[in-house]
Chain A
Amino acid sequence: MSDLSTTYLGLQLRTPLVASAGPLTGTVDGVRRMEDAGASAVVLPSLFEEQLTHEALDLHDMLESSLSTGAEAFGFLPEIEHYNTGPEHYLELVERAKRAVSVPVIGSLNGTSPTGWLRYATLIQDAGADALELNIYFLAADPTLSSADVEARYLDLVEAVRESLAIPLAVKIGPFLSSVANMALRLEEAGADGLVLFNRFYQADIDVEELEVTPRLVLSSPNEVRLPLVWIAILYGRVRASLAATSGVHGWEEAAKVLLAGADVAMMTSALLQRGPGHIAEVEAGLRRWMQEKEYDSVGQLRGSMSQQAVPDPEAYERANYMKMLTSYSGKAQP
């Protein structure tokens, strides 16, 4: 029987299949179902500092502006002991999830201010998280901000958080960096124990009927796995940090691919949202079957076996796709 165990952020995991941050891991019950289905670790949804701030200020503004609008009422909503605008809910989720499952529970944080990142990172650690994933989700919309500025911001942040934390630290980044590989190295230098590739940026949509910009969440498709796959293949062997693939892992094939490329773990959300947490068990079974068919002894054995450094044609991970397509197209087009 193949050994599926792996190590991620120094955590020993039963399999490389991890439930990544998403709505399903937002409740203790959901986390429990993930474990039951075979997830080897669970990443909780991100605590968004911006959202906390926004909610707190909104609440403050609403409560204050309706005060004293007349002699008869000092306000219009009951005064409540705890509005819970802070991270308490989230921290409670961490604590309860930790108590509810035996697999590692990884907290996730998206901060906006230096103090916010540090404060919430420490709080999540203190709540019992086995590791923390910094979900660096930042749309550099300000044209005066250079890519160097953005990168410096990331690095400073990781360094600062690393210094204040004792638990392992993963950094989840987006693919839209001028030099992903260089950033990966520098993030590792700054203290990242692992890299999670990649963030799927929220992309607004336009409603052509109402002429409104609308939020629209689109779940990932299996095709999207190729982006993390490529970068993991490139980074494998070049960074010591753990590598996690996220985006597009829907079935055992994608899991197998990212492991071959060099990932320590394959993270899943969209497929679980579509098919339910029980899908993890199917992926595990498929992966196990494939490994047996291919006679792999362990994940350790196959991991990175198709990384850029391990394949006969390393350039295939760079421009090969484009070249091949042209070649095959022109080949077909010829009479």
Chain B
Amino acid sequence: MSEAPGARWICVDGNEAAASVAYRLSEVIAIYPITPASAMGELADAWSASGRPNLWGSVPEVVEMQSEAGAAGAIHGAVQRGALATTFTASQGLLLMLPNMFKIAGELSPAVIHVAARTVATHALSIFGDHSDVMAVRTAGFAMLSSSSVQEAQDLALVAHVSSLASRVPFLHFFDGFRTSHEVDRILPLGDDDVRALVDDELVWALRDRGLTPDAPVLRGSAQNPDVFFQAREAASPFHAAVPGIVQDAMDRLADRTGRRYRLVDYVGSPQAERMIVLMGSGAGAAREVVAALSDRGERVGLAIVHLFRPFPIGALRAAIPESVRRVAVLDRTKEPGAPGEPLYQDVVTALTETAGAQADQVVAVTGGRYGLSSKEFTPAMVKAVFDDLAGAEPRNHFTVGIVDDVSHTSLPIDPSFSTEGDGVRAVFYGLGSDGTVGATRTSVKIIGEEAGLFAQGYFVHDSKKSGTVTVSHLRFGSHPITSTYLIKDAEFVACHQFNFLDRLDVLREAAPGATFLLNSPFGPAEVWDRLPVEVQRTIVSKRLDLWVIDAYRVARDAGLGLRINTVMQTCFFALSGVLPKEQAIATIKRWVEKTYGKRGHEVVERNWTAIDSALAHLHHVEVAGEPTSTRHRRPPVPEAAPDFVQRVTARMLEGEGDLLPVSALPVDGTFPTGTSRWEKRDIAQEIPIWDPSICIDCGKCALACPHAAVRMQVFGPEALDGAPEGFRSKEFVSRELPGMRIAIQVAPDDCTGCGVCVDVCPVKSKEEVKHKALNMEPAEQHRDRERASFDFFLGIPPLRDERLAADTIKGSQTRQPLFEFSGACAGCGETPYLKLLTQLFGDRIIVANATGCSSIYGGNLPTTPWATNDEGRGPAWANSLFEDNAEFGLGMRLALERQSAHARRLLSELATAIGPLANEIIEAPQDTAQQIDAQRNRVARLEDALAAGDDDPRLRDLRSVAHDLVRRSVWIVGGDGWAYDIGAGGLDHVLASGRDVNILVLDTEVYSNTGGQASKATPRAAIAKFAARGKSTVKKDLGLQAIAYGNVYVAQIALGGGEMQAIRAFNEAEAWPGPSLIIAYSTCIAHGIDMARSLSHQKDAVRSAYWPLYRYNPGGEGHPFHLDSKEPAIPLKEFAMSEARFAMLARTAPADAERLMAEAQEDVTARWNLYRQLAEVERVPPHLPEPATTGSATSQSDEAEED
């Protein structure tokens, strides 16, 4: 890479690189969050909010829309007015833009969509990168430009905008999600002058001139008929045909300006290559290394990197392929089932066929293969495998590389020892999401890349949990450009920032022989060796690792930084790695601390400086014993008792060896067993709640509130205590209805996240010392063994199913087994207690349609799922379709159930004679209570037994297949506010209007929690959120009131912390209501900026201030359907709001705005309260629900059958 005079390197990720160009060249930016593209929108929004101008000196309008479809529509409108417009998206988001993409392209409107390419959900959602999204829109008429690196993401973003203006063809500029979008790399930035040099203002003015104006009105978007549509479609062809030339021209001008030269299809490798690979995207990095390495060995290999994919540059491709080439492998990062080959392969075959011409005698054999789906690692060894295959007698076609396909046998064999790693330094850091390791590594990349004069690259891997997230940061640096677009395997430096990782993770897997191992350890150099598991000792000895320890938590604590160890560990890294002279390193880190944290306060900077200064004094070298000496072993990934699938598949994934699972190990259709989180013992809590039965009042609030189902309550007879382990606690259950029983409150010590919510809600205070409650957080290490034994015993206590302890009470509900347990949600999550309660009330009969979002991630992100089964094997059946369609998805389930149930009832009626009295018993049985449903289950079981032995009547066989649907089912449609208020609002509204018996649970965190806290229409006025950094200025949408407008929809607004019984009642009423039900549940979230240990206390204050009034609109009630369950406001909104950073931060950053918005927000709250109070007085006769098709038709047919 050549360097322009005076150029200054910066370190940014691909998203920022692309967004910085897009922002400068736009007037209208419509955004919507979606991983991994969200950051581009967030940056644009932040820049706009801070008044940063575009290239022409005006600040772009950045608007968040309700969906990607909305963003595309807004972009379409903007370009119709002749504005420069852009948007950012990925995956399903891009697919939602598709109809508008056809329109924008069809109308020859320049615009650019920047895509962090991501897998489109099929058998499963994946947030990671491949080309399935961009390939799905390749027919829209957009030009498509691919970037392979962070530098290219910036440079080709400019080429895309410039070429779109010049060609009038809209552009889709894409780069690989995560691998490029999130990789931090050292690049040369494009200055405003560089950008300006390539943009022709005449083209901008021409665009404006084409914009709609009443001064010179035109009509666009006509409806055309068979007579002219076809011709009109062809009329635009010359514009598309001109695109390759225009793009190359822009690339050439970029090269003239910056020295960085690109071609439509870049070629690297031997000019006399015989074998070559064609691909697009970040895989080019790994492939470049292999081509270089093999060329050095004298092998004649080459690589074509396609940048312009649409219009496909046939001539450029042909020109890029040396005439000596005989074999070409085309690699696609997507799968197109049923196609003769994947898209790039097909295009290359077509291109070579069409251009064969005079060279027809020199036949080029083309094979195609798939790699890297969903960011699957694509390493030099895999590239080498492709070249090796091409060298074989008969190269494989339609192969896969990077997996072991033992089903269709498509995969190429790989030599894992092949490596092209250069002479740079590689470092791997294991940390917790919350300990700042990722942030520190990002800073380290910047320090190395921007100050130490070296090339640097950072890439970050997270596990799938939101609490106790393990992060692995990969850092490369050296004096040569880094193209290694794959994870580090041989690290010269490994740091483990959490000592307890050693017990469950092989953190030294990537350590190269002789590597430095930095360990954050509470044990000093003399003691630490004996504290290591034997597996770790063994690796240290066998790899001759150089071990260093520091008690970083102590250093941080002494510096007044609490748990923030990032700068301490970073200082140690710089000291040990020697990337900079020690003094210079410390001075540089300090400067970066000031730069990064300065705006948070002087004290923050000073304390970090103190920590940096004392870090090295506490860093100790450890003399390692010659042999492993420990008798302690690393914990197995799952207990021995785990079922076969968990042992074979789940355990491998938990160990980080999912890449090694063969195709045959995986389900063919995305179907997985539930109840697997119970086998994943994460052991992440530093403190766990310990029960003091002597003062407990048996209220059950702790179990109800526990977001992780890690605090359990059970009531049982004294005989159940037989065989209880020592230390198992129980007490007399104080109950008139159930005398003589005992109660136990038990923590699941390995599953608890230590969030502290249970202690916060415990209403009991010791008479002797008020800080002592019936539950108290205590060091996990001191209690774990005893609590493990106790919890195992507790699980064996037979569940109480006694009507005297009614399920519609707190105590009653909490004695029911939760069938949602140990999710990976954030510690203290405000959503999960509702789901747990839902399963305790109806878990054995529910089907859940779950919108994409936090709840689908902690609910369905492998390796494990918290959705569980009871002892009878029953439990929630769960599925996630998409983000936008969840209400419709759930309705479909309901319709299917109703149809199948009706069918079963009809068959039952028809076959009543053959079946006997049981048929009518089943048809007429009420199923209103759990007991009645149990009774019906027994009847249906008898029926199934009878049918199993049945004769040849096909109707009996038919009945057998639907008989289970004679038991009442409950459909729950679950999702967050992003879904319900925004992207899924249309569908939700339609389902509410349908009158069908579905239950909708909206977990309202008031932001898009999963993608990082972007504002939704549920975000309240005066709160800040991403995309509303200056405080949301509009009122929160009243979703409940919209639903109430229908009259026959059950609606409840609940907040567990503000009214436990009201919440339980709402769940029961909603489930009982035979029409649509909507529960809007206030869900505290880390995006609120609160101490999550006090999650439910915040809910309480939300209710006390009338910020979140509790109500139930029950159309099944009499007279006054609206019940306002909240008491009069007891505190002003401000008192509640200022305890949450989302409100309080605005008061700090923009006090005048905050004051005005808070006053308006108080008016919102007061007005809504007054409205609700009046509603409570209103008499209303709800509209009739539609006649239930199931009962109606079945009953009538049954009656007819009887009459017959």
Check if A and B associate: yes
> Does B1009 interact with chain A (Cβ within 8 Å)?
yes
Q: Interface residues of B toward A: which range?
A: 35 or more
Interface-centre pick from B460, B564, B603, B604 (highest chain A CB count, 10 A): B603
Q: Which residues of A contact B1029 (CB under 8 A)?
A: 78, 80
The answer to whether B566 has its CB under 8 Å from any CB of chain A is yes
Q: Residue A147 at the B interface, CB < 8 A?
A: no
Choose the segment among A51-59, A128-136, A150-158, A304-312 that binds chain B (4+ C-beta atoms closer than 8 Å).
A51-59
Contact of B471 among A56, A63, A66, A68 (CB under 8 A): A68
Contact B439 A76 (CB under 8 A): no
Q: Which residues of A contact B1026 (CB under 8 A)?
A: 77-78
Q: How far is the CA of A56 from the CA of B998 in the complex (A)?
A: 47
Given contacts A67-B439, A78-B1029, contact A83 B563 (CB under 8 A): no
Decide: B600 and A67 in contact? CB cutoff 8 A.
Answer: no
In the bound complex, do residue B439 and residue A73 qualify as a contact, i.e. CB atoms below 8 Å apart? no
Interface presence of A205 (CB below 8 A): no
Known: A77-B1026, A83-B1145. A67 touches B434 (CB 8 A): yes
Q: Which residues 143-188 of A have a CB within 8 angstroms of B?
A: none
Whether a CB of chain B sits under 8 angstroms from the CB of A62 is yes
By a CB distance below 8 angstroms, the chain B residues around A63 are 600
Quick check: A85 and B1148 within 8 Å, CB to CB?
yes
Instruction: Give the residues in chain A near B826, CB-CB below 8 Å.
Output: 69
Cα separation A145 to B1011 with both chains bound (whole Å)? 51
Chain B residue with the shortest CB-CB distance to A65: B434
Complex interface: chain B residues within 8 A of A64 (CB)? 434, 436, 439, 564, 566
- CB-based contact A60/B600 at 8 Å: yes
Contacts of A78 in B (CB 8 A): 42, 45-46, 49, 1013, 1024-1029
Please name all residues of chain A whose beta carbon is closer than 8 Å to the beta carbon of B770 when the two chains form the complex: 211-212
- With contacts A72-B1010, A72-B1011 known, is A66 near B857, CB below 8 A? no
> What residues of A have a CB within 8 angstroms of the CB of B303 in the complex?
none
Tell me the minimal C-beta distance from B90 to chain A in angstroms. Answer: 11
From B50, B439, B1010, B1148, give the contact of A84 (CB < 8 A). B1148
The answer to whether B562 has its CB under 8 Å from any CB of chain A is: yes
Interface residue B1087 (Cβ < 8 Å from any Cβ of A): yes
Smallest CB gap from B1028: residue in A: A78
A117 to B566, CA, bound (A): 29
User: How many Å lie between the Cα of A74 and that of B438 in the bound state?
Assistant: 9
B501–chain A nearest beta-carbon distance, Å: 15
Is A70 in contact with chain B by the CB < 8 A criterion? yes
Q: Does B512 contact A (CB under 8 A)?
A: no
With a CB–CB cut-off of 8 A, which chain B residues contact A71? 35-36, 127, 178, 460-462
- Contacts A67-B439, A70-B433 given; does A84 touch B1141 at CB 8 Å: no
Q: Taking the complex as formed, is B335 at the interface, i.e. its CB lies under 8 A from any CB of chain A?
A: no
- CB neighbours (8 Å) of B607 from chain A are 57
Q: How far is the CB of A162 from chain B (nearest CB, A)?
A: 23
Within 8 A of B (CB), among A56-113: 56-57, 59-86, 89
- Please indicate the chain A residues that have their CB under 8 angstroms from the CB of B1089 in the complex: 62, 76-77
B466 interface contact, C-beta 8 A: yes
Chain A residue nearest in CB terms to B128: A71
**What is the CB-to-nearest-CB distance from A36 to chain B, in angstroms, rounded to a whole number?**
22
Contact with A along B450-474 (1 / 0, CB 8 A): 0000000000111011110101000
Known contacts A65-B563, A73-B1011; A83/B601 CB under 8 A: yes
Distance A175 CA – B437 CA, assembled complex (angstroms): 49
Residue from B434, B464, B600, B1027 in contact with A66 in the complex, judged by beta carbons closer than 8 Å: B434
Contact B603 A56 (CB under 8 A): yes
Residue of B45, B49, B561, B601 touching A85 (CB-CB under 8 A) = B601
CA distance A60 to B561 in the complex (A): 9
Q: Are A67 and B602 in contact (CB under 8 A)?
A: no
B1141 adjacent to A59 (CB under 8 Å): yes
Instruction: Report Cα–Cα, A269/B50, bound state, in Å.
Output: 39
CB distance from A30 to the nearest CB of B (A): 14
A125 to chain B, nearest CB (A): 18
Q: How far is the CB of B559 from chain A (nearest CB, A)?
A: 11
Q: How long is the Cα–Cα vector from A72 to B116 in the complex, in angstroms?
A: 13
Q: In this assembly, does B1112 line the interface, its C-beta being within 8 Å of a C-beta of chain A? A: no
Q: How distant is the Cα of A209 from the Cα of B471 in the complex, in angstroms? A: 46
Tell me the bound Cα distance from A80 to B1026 in angstroms.
10
Using Cβ atoms and an 8 Å threshold, which residues of chain A touch B220? none
**Does B1151 belong to the interface (CB within 8 Å)?**
yes
Q: A57-B604, A61-B564, A78-B42 are in contact. Are A67 and B1012 (CB under 8 A)?
A: no
Number of A-B residue pairs, CB cutoff 8 Å, is 157
Q: Confirm or deny: B263 has a beta carbon within 8 angstroms of a beta carbon on chain A.
A: no
Contact-residue size bin, chain A (C-beta under 8 Å from the other chain): 35 or more
Q: Which residues of A contact B1151 (CB under 8 A)?
A: 89
Rounded to whole Å, the gap between the CB of A41 and the closest CB of chain B is: 25
- Given the complex, which residues of B lie within 8 Å of A60, measured CB to CB? 564, 597, 600-601, 604
A89 contact set on B, CB distance < 8 A? 1148, 1151
Do A81 and B50 touch across chains, with their CB atoms under 8 A apart?
yes
The answer for the CA separation of A85 and B465 in the assembled complex, in Å, is: 32
Q: What residues of chain B lie closer than 8 Å to A70, measured between beta carbons?
A: 433, 462, 464-466, 469, 857, 1010
In the complex, the answer to whether A66 meets B1086 with C-beta atoms within 8 Å is yes
Chain A residues 112 to 134 lying within 8 A of chain B, measured CB to CB, are: 119
B39 sits at the interface (CB 8 A)? yes
The docked-state distance in angstroms from the alpha carbon of A57 to that of B178 is 31
Min CB gap A87→B, angstroms: 9
Min CB–CB distance A84 → chain B (angstroms) = 5
The smallest C-beta distance from B496 to any residue of chain A, in angstroms, reads 16
Which of chain B's residues have a CB closer than 8 A to the CB of A66?
434, 1086-1087
A83 and B600 contact, CB distance less than 8 A:
yes
Known: A64-B439, A65-B563. A73 touches B1013 (CB 8 A): yes
A83 to B1089, CA, bound (A): 14
Q: Complex Cα distance A64/B604, Å?
A: 12
B460: A residues at CB distance < 8 A? 68, 71
Which chain B residue has the least Cβ–Cβ distance from A63? Answer: B600
- Which residues in A have their C-beta under 8 angstroms from that of B45? 78
A73–B42 alpha-carbon span in the complex (Å): 11
Pairwise interchain contact A76-B1009, C-beta atoms closer than 8 A? yes
Q: Is B599 an interface residue (CB 8 A)?
A: yes
Cβ of B1149 < 8 Å from any Cβ of A? yes
Complex contact A68–B1013 (CB within 8 A): no
A3-24: CB near B (< 8 Å → 1, else 0) gives: 0000000000000000000000
A79 to B35, CA, bound (A): 18
In whole Å, how far is B180's beta carbon from the nearest beta carbon of chain A? Answer: 15
Confirm or deny: B333 has a beta carbon within 8 angstroms of a beta carbon on chain A.
no
A72 and B35 in contact, given A66-B434, A78-B42, A85-B600 (Cβ under 8 angstroms) = yes
Interface 1/0 per residue, B35-66 and A, CB below 8 Å:
11011001001100110000000000000000
Query: Which residue, B45, B600, B1086, has most C-beta atoms of chain A within 10 A?
Result: B600
Residue of A nearest to B462 (CB): A71
Question: Chain A residues with Cβ under 8 A from B38's Cβ?
Answer: 72-73
Q: A68-B460, A69-B826 are contacts. A80–B1145 as well, Cβ < 8 Å? A: yes
B543 at the interface (CB under 8 A from A): no
Can you name 10 extra interface pairs (CB under 8 A) apart from A55-B1148, A69-B1086?
A: A55-B601, A64-B434, A68-B434, A70-B433, A71-B462, A76-B1009, A78-B1013, A80-B599, A85-B1148, A119-B602
Report which B residues bind A (CB closer than 8 A).
35-36, 38-39, 42, 45-46, 49-50, 127, 178, 433-434, 436-439, 460-462, 464-467, 469, 471, 560-564, 566, 597, 599-604, 607, 765, 770, 826, 857, 1007, 1009-1013, 1024-1029, 1085-1087, 1089, 1141-1142, 1145, 1148-1149, 1151
Residues of A that sit less than 8 Å from B by CB: 52-53, 55-57, 59-86, 89, 119, 211-212
**22 A-B residue pairs with CB within 8 Å:** A57-B561, A59-B600, A59-B601, A63-B600, A64-B434, A65-B434, A65-B563, A68-B469, A69-B1086, A71-B462, A72-B127, A74-B438, A76-B1007, A77-B1026, A77-B1087, A77-B1089, A78-B42, A80-B1029, A80-B1149, A83-B600, A85-B600, A211-B765
Closest 7 CB pairs of A and B: A56-B601, A73-B1012, A85-B601, A76-B1013, A76-B1087, A78-B1029, A68-B438
